[in-house]
Amino acid sequence: MNFDHFLRRLRAIWRPPMFQGWGKKHRYFEGWYYKLISADHQHAIAVIPGISCSETGNHAFIQTMDGIRKTSRYEEFDLAAFTADSQRFEIAVGENNFSDNQINLHLPHLSGSVRFLDTVPYEGSFLSPGIMGWYSFVPFMQCYHGLVSIDHRLEGALMLNDKLIDFTGGKGYIEKDWGTSFPEAWVWTQCNNFEHHERLSVMASVAHIPWLGSHFIGFLAIVYVNGKIKVFTTYTHAKMSLDLQQDWVEMSFSDKESHLTVKAWQKEGTDLIAPQKGAMTGKVNESIQASHEIRYQSRHELIEARGSMAGLEVGGNSRILLKQKQNK
């Protein structure tokens, strides 16, 4: 790694949405997840641009999912087709452009532009740059996670095959992952389409985390409501419980001030390609038509809400999440 790449990676630590992989060429992936839900809930699209670097070769990609028709496509590009701005979050894969305020697509089956209005970024601090807190500084983590926009409105349209889809008035969400591989097991869910709550967004995740020759069960959850963000996570010493059933998942998180319970019901999902040692050779099934029930109580408010068009993944050997110690 040359000195310029080192400086770019160092600066990027405090800006998790930006490209983190300067100079990475082996056993590395990085991908951004864009979720777009139309106002009438008749269309649910996920767009995932990224790069894959492994022993079998390096390439850039754009993976797309139609959550209603339950289809996906994986478009592969030369790695040279991937470019990233070193000062702000802007990336391109060929003629396709991505940022925190819009996407512009020119794929054979999906094209057009969608803008993001009233985005809600996750603002970290010097000692806690992103949602992963001080773990952001640990150089050997298997997978890092970042939040780009917790909630925003959409404006624009995409041509899917031969049909024009108007996303104006719909809702969006953006996050990202980077590292070597997805975890051995994880549960992830996200929703920001709740009845009677225009600006409510919830994301929750539990995962098996390798750590210094051992492992622990890590977790994080966020609630965005009334213009404020509440975080429950491993490094803040919050508590977590998890229940996995065939048709639903329930996660509860608590600390001294607040409590959150998220129950997500499974819907038939779509198979997506996932990273393993940098190579896009794994597989995960994701639904973006799951339903949510949440209960969030703090010192000042109680919110009980039902949501729809939720993202839900139960990946890997998820049963091990129930058997291990849940706090490091």
| One-letter amino acid for residue 212 of the chain | L
Mean per-residue pLDDT, 304-321: 92
pLDDT given for residue 323 in this prediction: 64
Length of the chain equals 328
Contact between 250 and 328 under an 8 Å Cβ cutoff? The reply is: no
- Beta strands 44-54 and 96-99 are unpaired
What is the per-residue pLDDT across 106-153, written as a single tens digit (0 to 9) for each? 999 999 999 999 999 998 888 888 999 888 999 889 999 999 999 999
What is the per-residue pLDDT across 197-233, written as a single tens digit (0 to 9) for each? 999 999 999 999 988 878 899 999 999 998 999 999 9
Per-residue exposure over 59-83, b if at least 16 CB sit within 10 Å of its own CB, e if not: bbbbbbbbbbebebeebebeeebbe
Q: What residues contact residue 87 under an 8 Å CB cut-off, 6+ apart?
A: none
Q: How far apart are CA 262 and CA 306, in angstroms?
A: 10
Q: At residue 326, does pLDDT exceed 50?
A: no
Cross-strand bridge partners of residue 145: 177
pLDDT given for residue 317 in this prediction: 84
Label each residue of the chain as H, E or C: CCHHHHHHHHHHCCCCCCCCCCCCCCCEEEEEEEEEECCCCCCEEEEEEEEEEECCEEEEEEEEEECCCCEEEEEEECHHHEEECCCCCEEEECCEEEECCEEEEECCCEEEEEEEECCCCCCCCCCCCCCCHHHHHCCCCCEEEEEEEEEEEEEEEEEECCEEEECCCCEEEEEEEEECCCCCEEEEEEECCECCECCEEEEEEEEEEEECCEEEEEEEEEEEECCEEEEEEHHHCCEEEEEECCCEEEEEEECCCCEEEEEEECCCCEEEEEEECCEEEEEEEEEEEEEEEEEEECCCCEEEEEEEEEEEEEEECHHHHHCCCCCC
| One-letter amino acid for residue 69 of the chain | R
Q: How far apart are CA 231 and CA 219, in angstroms?
A: 11
What is the per-residue pLDDT across 61-118, written as a single tens digit (0 to 9) for each? 999 999 999 999 999 999 999 999 999 999 999 999 999 999 999 999 999 999 999 9
Cα-Cα end-to-end distance for the chain: 33
Angle among Cα 109, 113, 119 to the nearest 5 degrees reads 125
Higher pLDDT, 178 or 25: 178
What is the per-residue pLDDT across 3-46, written as a single tens digit (0 to 9) for each? 788 888 888 899 999 999 999 989 999 999 999 999 999 999 99
Contact between 307 and 178 under an 8 Å Cβ cutoff? The reply is: no
pLDDT given for residue 328 in this prediction: 41
Q: How far apart are CA 317 and CA 296, in angstroms?
A: 29
What is the per-residue pLDDT across 288-305, written as a single tens digit (0 to 9) for each? 999 999 999 998 899 999
pLDDT given for residue 7 in this prediction: 87
Q: How far apart are CA 66 and CA 288, in angstroms?
A: 9
Angle among Cα 202, 193, 122 to the nearest 5 degrees reads 40
112: left (phi over 0), alpha (psi -120 to 50) or beta: left
Mean pLDDT over each residue of the chain, to the nearest integer: 94
